[in-house]
Amino acid sequence: MNPATGLAAANQVADFSRDTWWIWVIKAVFIIVFLIFSVIFALWFERRLVAKMQNRLGPNTVGPLGLLQSFPDAIKLLFKEDFNLKGADRFVYLTAPAISALCSFTLMAVIPMGPQVSVFGIRTPLQLTDTPVSMLFILAVAALGEYGLVLGGWSARSTLPLYGSVRSATQMISYELAQGLSLVTVFILSRTMATSGIVSSQAELWNVLLLLPAFLVYLVTMFGESNRLPFDLPEAEGEIVAGAHTEYSSMKFGWYYLSEYVNMLNLSMVATTLFFGGWRAGPVLTWIYSLWGGDPNTGWIPMLWFVLKMWTFMGVFVWARGTLLRFRYDQFMRLGWRGLIPAALIWLAIVMTVIGIDMVFPLNVHSVLIILSLGYSAILLIWALGDDTVKPSQADLIRMRGEEEFTGFEYGYPVPPLPGQHLPPSKRETVRGSAADISVTEELETKNV
């Protein structure tokens, strides 16, 4: 890597010097409108795609292809009967949904959607703002948004919401550690934490090729951060009804619902920015455009590339929901602490070693990282998916589970019984049964007398 080239890429940050106050207002309003309409479309998109996977029709009546179905659903939620819990901590109970919504709408402020364009005669980047530490801002606001779920479940003073809030807190700690470690390699390679600078550093080659293991770790943590299947334990309907927002209704519940989908969009935009070149079209499209003297990375067209990449990740979210089952809590924690965090740490050490050697003995960092990236990714995939053992059939598994003692705990965590397993008898029920037997015996003796 040429140090001068890397330094130039790091310093190539968006220029906001020509922006005025009304440009800021236009950008801020656009972000809010874009996210709201994206959520409305995402609701239709998810229902239709899952319906196709399950051989159903999905919404197809209200509007063409059912595109307008999300609007009556939102209106119904808006006018649904609202209530306030009598025993709840009122201030925290009302504030928690606003925290989640506010943090989710804030993240897009530092995401670049395109290069400099002309807006009413003023040259300005398609980005509200940027700082040298924009990625730290994103990580901080994303972590703060989790407090909305934690405080919402805690303030309700109810058992199941409290379970959901505790699960949300542990999920945040476990998976944000792995996510942060995976992103450090991006900062090191790009030599900047400004989002526009990271996009500029991918002008020649996207980070997904150079840092594939970091992307794979981030891809898994995306689902954990957004509380989506297979990591939707904070709101598992079959176990804790709806988790932290069980005791919310109307628009207080709607803010949680909205923030979940906005977080999916945010995570998709961050993945696009850090690993897939952001708004840049990539070498293939650039070559195609160059055949007739065009440039796909100028004007308003790059915004189209950005949106297409973002919705590709949204499709992955929906695909996972229609395909995978929910993780058990012990499996979920084991994957985060014993899998993702060590994998991200090892890859971070490899990247730092390559960069350190390059400072002493200059080498082609891109070529070396591509080779190491593919090799380490193959090792991770073999570790995650490879299993050369002969697996018993479902009937054999059920029989073996029935022969083993099941205590309700595994690896120190309470877990539900699998097919063939049975919870041990409750002490309370045992005492009740003994008392009932004694009473029946006494009644029979009295009759005999």
Residue 223 burial by Cβ neighbours in a 10 Å radius (0-12, 13-18, 19+):
buried
Contact assessment for residue 169 and residue 146, using Cβ atoms and an 8 Å cutoff: yes
Q: Binning pLDDT at 50, 70 and 90, where does residue 41 land?
A: very high
Give kind and range of the element (H or E) at residue 437. helix 427-448
Reported as a single tens digit per residue, the pLDDT across 182-234 is: 999 999 998 899 999 999 998 888 999 999 999 999 999 998 888 888 888 77
Q: What does residue 410 show for φ and ψ, rounded to 5 degrees?
A: -150, 130
CA dihedral 143, 148, 154, 156 (to 10 degrees): -170
Q: Binning pLDDT at 50, 70 and 90, where does residue 272 land?
A: very high
Reported as a single tens digit per residue, the pLDDT across 91-118 is: 888 888 889 889 999 999 999 998 888 8
- Mean pLDDT of the chain, nearest integer: 83
DSSP 394: H
| 278 torsion bin: left (phi>0), alpha (psi -120 to 50), beta (else) | left
Mean pLDDT, rounded, for 67-76: 86
Tell how far CA 51 is from the center of its chain. 22
Top mean pLDDT of 10-14, 163-167, 425-429 is at 163-167
Bridge partners, 122 (sequence order): 119
pLDDT (0 to 100) of residue 407: 78
359: its two tokens: 């400072």
Mean pLDDT, rounded, for 134-143: 90
Tell how far CA 262 is from the center of its chain. 10
Between helix 90-106 and helix 250-275 the angle, nearest 10°, is 30
In this structure, of 60-69, 133-142, 258-267, the range with the lowest mean pLDDT score is 60-69
pLDDT score of 294 more than 50: yes
pLDDT score of 400 more than 90: no
pLDDT (0 to 100) of residue 335: 86
Q: Where are the domains of the chain?
A: 3-385, 394-448
Bridge partners, 410 (sequence order): 413
pLDDT score of 444 more than 60: no
Reported as a single tens digit per residue, the pLDDT across 342-377 is: 999 999 999 999 998 888 888 888 889 899 999 998
Minimal CA–CA distance to 24: which of 121, 109, 113? Answer: 109
